[in-house]
Amino acid sequence: MDIDFALVLVVLVAVCGAIWLLDLLLLKKARNRAIDETRNAHAGSKSEQAMQQELDELAREPIVVEYAKSFFPVLLLVLMLRSFVIEPYQIPTGSMIPTLEVGDFILVNKYAYGLRLPVIGTKIFSVGDPQRGEVMVFIPPHENKYYIKRVIGLPGDRIRYEDNQLYINGEAVPREYVGETSIEFGPQQLPGSLYREEVGGVVHEIQMSNVPLGRDGRTSWIVPDGHYFMMGDNRDNSADSRVWGPASEAKIIGKAVAIWMHKDPGLKLPTFSRNQRIQ
């Protein structure tokens, strides 16, 4: 089950803030009244040391309030950073191979395309729009979870993908053969080819199977307003806009900018050998 960390953080911040506010408005005043009453009732009847011990006990904050006041600023800072600056994300599938591998930990720039409220995603400040060739994290139209793909089509673009060739607005996207590779397709390892492709001025590598997969279906699309056509760099092993349609601008999470760590599945130690900017 996927955990919505943004929602968890919002709830924790709200709970801690509410406890702190409750203490400030009610509980602290009650403690102060008890201190005043005790001081007046026992003035001169107890030693100064005994009186001070009793007053200190009355002034002590409940453990729940103490923890809430300690955690609130830390949780609020984490929430602000994740919501408006940088959010970490782990690559769960191979749909972006060879650019991103399973187990890559990446950083997602949350303000590149505008500031959005956490959880509900409403844009409150516009900064820029996604551009062709950028790698973007978003929520697709068919599933409420993070996906990561490359921006191929902008609003109004005509996209065609036929015979392993990508066309944007009638122009074939340039690509250059790099070499042979092996592509994991379910339990199989299929022979494939690596190409260097240029989309929107961004040069990146893609891979395609050398074995016909017998896929039939739609080959052309027009990107509607407020949407983006997304594709994986692992062209024959990526469920993307060719399957579930364009991604909505309202569901954008941010721009993937860098790999900061990699960890293979299982009991493997993390490495930093793949640290690099994402092209």
Q: Tell me, yes or no, whether 136 and 206 share the same domain.
A: yes
Q: Tell me, yes or no, whether 79 and 36 share the same domain.
A: yes
* For residues 135-155, average pLDDT: 96
Dist. CA 42–CA 51, nearest whole Å:
8
Confidence bin at 213 (pLDDT 50/70/90): low
Tell me, what's the pLDDT at 46?
67
Q: Tell me, yes or no, whether 210 and 235 share the same domain.
A: yes
Tell me, what's the pLDDT at 274?
93
The tokens of 232 are what?
């994986």
Q: Which residues are catalytic?
A: 95, 149
The secondary structure element, H or E, covering residue 206 is strand 202-209
Over 50: is that where the pLDDT of 250 sits?
yes
| DSSP structure string for 10-75 | HHHHHHHHHHHHHIIIIIHHHHHHHHHHHHHHSTTTS-HHHHHHHHHHHHPPPHHHHHHHHHHHHH
| Residue range of the domain that includes 42 | 5-84
Over 60: is that where the pLDDT of 1 sits?
no
Lowest model confidence (mean pLDDT) among 22-26, 43-47, 125-129, 210-214: 43-47
Q: Tell me, yes or no, whether 206 and 76 share the same domain.
A: no
Top-confidence residue, 239 or 43: 239
Over 50: is that where the pLDDT of 217 sits?
yes
Over 70: is that where the pLDDT of 256 sits?
yes
Q: Tell me, yes or no, whether 107 and 47 share the same domain.
A: no
* For residues 226-240, average pLDDT: 95
Dist. CA 223–CA 158, nearest whole Å:
7
Q: In this structure, are residues 253 and 137 in contact, taking their beta carbons and an 8 Å threshold?
A: yes
